[in-house]
Amino acid sequence: MSQIKCIGILTSGGDAPGMNAAIRAVTRAAIYNGFEVKGIYRGYKGLITDEIAPFKTQNVSNIIQQGGTILKTARCQEFKTPEGRKIAYDTLVKEGIDALVVIGGDGTLTGARIFATEYNYPIVGLPGTIDNDLFGTDTTIGYDTALNTIMEAVDKIRDTATSHERLFFIEVMGRDAGFLALNGAIATGAEAAIIPEISTEVDQLEELIKNGFRKSKNSSIVLVAESPITGGAMHLAERVQKEYPQYDVRVTILGHIQRGGSPTAHDRILASRMGAAAIDALLEDQRNVMIGIRNNEIEYIPFNKAIKNDKPIDRELLNTLRKLSI
Ligand code: F6P
């Protein structure tokens, strides 16, 4: 049986809608099971600066519907150094925190893996990122909300694109992953998605747009995943504009609007289930795993698998987009 008495929670890296729902779930499930809970502010930075407060059930009241994270977040460079992690460990000992639940993306789980190994310290991770780029879970907390934000924005752009008969390149987030761009394109009926996982066939893209314009369409929308591999929307638009000066090309970069807003029901439920599962995992003496949900089943995914960067893009989605964008 676990010797854990007090659990610390933190959110780190880029915020994602549903992080608050996850904080609420972890706090309440921990208290339900008789644990003490402490909230750590500003991600790993809070472990270095000792910004920590006890969390009771009322600390997490009325937050399930809020975007962002009440614990704040940061990308902490100091935690990447052994010296920084030593300070963090000393803080955990001083605060009497016996285990951590960390909520974040790739960078957060990488930090957790290194720290857990270095100090033999129990950590459970929750996948909180709009990018959906963690292996071992069908979706990550925040992804569905971001996808819906993209959909609403692109629908609006479609109105003006159609009125002016323009070709729009719309850049979406995702770091090095194309999930937001590909599914965003399907959801909005876009003509194409340019994603880092598939080599950018600019000629094919141009062909597609040309055919679309020539046949029945009077506007075109291409979703571009931000990434050095795709080159981004601005770069692609410049190339296409140069080749095809007859097109009236515009670029929109959706930016951080994609990270905000009230989480969808999907993200609230996902975060609630994963938060409760994190406490179950600690009760079962699981450590250094990320909670995933695949095919509606909770799974424990070792950190090194989750962050290996090999969550594949579903070819069926790509084919669907191609078939439906004619
Ligand atoms: O990981 C989430 C994310 O929004 C990525 O999609 C994006 O590349 C990055 O964070 C932006 O980070 P920042 O807000 O630090 O500029």
> For a pocket test of ligand 1, which of 15, 73, 109, 130 has the largest count of ligand atoms closer than 8 A to its C-beta?
130
For ligand 1, residues with CB inside 6 Å are 14, 105, 129-131, 173-175, 226, 259
Distance 139 CA to ligand 1 centre (A): 17
- pLDDT at position 212 is 63
CA distance 146 to 141: 10
| Same domain as 281, residue 239 | no
Q: pTM for the complete prediction?
A: 0.96
Distance 124 CA to ligand 1 centre (A): 22
| Same domain as 254, residue 170 | yes
CA distance 173 to 155: 17
Vertex 23 angle, CA 73 and 42, to 5° = 20
Closest-CA residue, ligand 1 atom 2, reads 14
| Same domain as 153, residue 166 | yes
Q: Tell me whether residue 321 is in a domain.
A: no
Q: Which of 317, 314, 301 is nearest to 134 (CA)?
A: 301
Q: What is the number of structural domains in the chain?
A: 2
Q: Tell me whether residue 313 is in a domain.
A: no
| Same domain as 116, residue 35 | yes
| Same domain as 248, residue 113 | no
| Same domain as 268, residue 130 | yes
Last residue of a domain, one of 200, 224, 259: 259
- pLDDT at position 50 is 97
Q: Which of 316, 241, 275 is nearest to 20 (CA)?
A: 275
Residue 41 domain boundaries: 6-142+263-308
CATH of the domain at 160: 3.40.50.460
- pLDDT at position 1 is 47
- pLDDT at position 275 is 98
Question: What pLDDT tens digit does each residue of the chain (326 aa) get?
Answer: 469 999 999 999 999 999 999 999 999 999 999 999 999 999 999 999 999 999 999 999 999 999 999 999 999 999 999 999 999 999 999 999 999 999 999 999 999 999 999 999 999 999 999 999 999 999 999 999 999 999 999 999 999 999 999 999 999 999 889 999 999 999 999 988 999 988 755 666 666 666 666 665 677 899 999 999 888 999 989 988 888 888 899 999 999 999 999 999 999 999 999 999 999 999 999 999 999 999 999 999 999 999 977 788 999 999 999 899 87
Tell me which residues are annotated as active site. Answer: 131
Q: Tell me whether residue 322 is in a domain.
A: no
| Same domain as 119, residue 47 | yes
- Polymer length in residues for the chain: 326
Q: Tell me whether residue 318 is in a domain.
A: no
How many Å separate Cα 229 from the centre of its chain? 19
